[in-house]
Structures are given as structure tokens and as C-alpha cells.
Amino acid sequence: MRRSRTAWAAAVLMSAAWAVTAIPADAATACPTGWGSLDKSRAAGTTTPVKNIRTGSHTCYDRMVIDVPGGGSGLGYRVRYVDRLRQDGSGRPISVGGGAVLEVRVAAPAYDPESGTPTYPGRVARPLPGVDISGYRTFRDTRFAGSFEGETQVGLGVRARLPFRVQLLADRVVVDVAHNWTGSR
């Protein structure tokens, strides 16, 4: 009886060890895939103004967050690759560094609609204030393109045309751009 329990325990341990070694080491740490590089949008809009734009670098992607406190589910957006960023209203081209340019539009003004007072300190054709993307794997440049007729426009220069996703979270729009197409780190 003791031998059969010992043999059974050894078999269980051997199968558990085989199962662990059969899983590729990077399977648990693989990056998400399937985002694609086509336009992504959500039709909605708010008069609640943009307060901040910030970025972060993650293991699998670089991230831009546009904060619209109080915007809730009324936030709309359109994110797409463009050949050249052009400022709304004037059509003025804005130079954005990188191998590809993502145009990020959020359907929220960067000013108080009642007074016209700016709520975000960005200056047209200048890098985003307070944003330092040095050392990022994917982001190469950021440019504020302005706020026109209730929409705020930003240019995001990336290393190449890479897959991205857009998420609407509580009071913010999040744009993640993958480091590569394969999902590897």
C-alpha cells in the first residue's frame, strides 16, 4: 500500500514538472497582440475641458493619457495614423518627429467653454508641457495641435506604424502603442 502511494505521488510530481516545462517560459509574460493600426473612434462629446496629458512607458507598450476630470462616459475620440498632422481650422502643418504620426483627437475642449480660459497649458506646434519621453521604446515626439470647436488635437510621433489600442476609462482617454507587431517584449 505504501509503495502504491509513493508511486502515485511520484507520478503526480513528474506530470506536474512536465507540465511546467512544456509551457514556454515567456508565455506568461507575452504582450497583448491583435490591436491593429486602423483608425479607432468613439462618437460622443463633452464640454468638460481637458486638464492634463501625460505619458508612461510599460513593458509591452508606451502610453498616453488625456485626463478630462468630470468627462465620464461622454468622452469621444478619434485616433489614426496620418501622413502629416494638420491643425484644425487653419490646416497649418505641424511637424512631428518619428517614423509615423498618430493624430489623437479627444472630443473635449482644452479651454473653459464659458470663459475661453485655457485649461491645458499646451502651445500649438510645441511639445506637450511636462511630458518627457526620452528613453521610451516607441514614442519619439509629442506636439500640441490646439483645441478647435470643442476638440483637442495632439500629434504623437512613434518609431514606426505600430499597432495601438484606445481605451475609455473613467474621465480619461488612454492610447497604448505596442513596441512591436509580434507581442514579444
pLDDT confidence of residue 146 = 97
If you average pLDDT over residues 23-40, what whole number do you get?
76
Reported as half-sphere exposure (CB side, CA atoms, 13 A), residue 169 has a value of 12
Task: Residue 161: name the closest of 134, 185, 143, 138 by CA.
Answer: 138
Percent of the chain with pLDDT over 90: 76
Which one-letter amino acid corresponds to residue 34? Answer: G
pTM summary value: 0.84
**What is the dotted CATH code of the domain comprising 40-178?**
2.60.40.3500
> Using 50, 70 and 90 to split pLDDT, how confident is the model at 2?
low
Is 176:164 a contact under the CB 8 Å cutoff? yes
φ, ψ of residue 81 to 5 degrees: the values are: -80, 140
Of residues 46, 54, 35, 33, the one with CA closest to residue 77: 46
* 6, pLDDT greater than 70: no
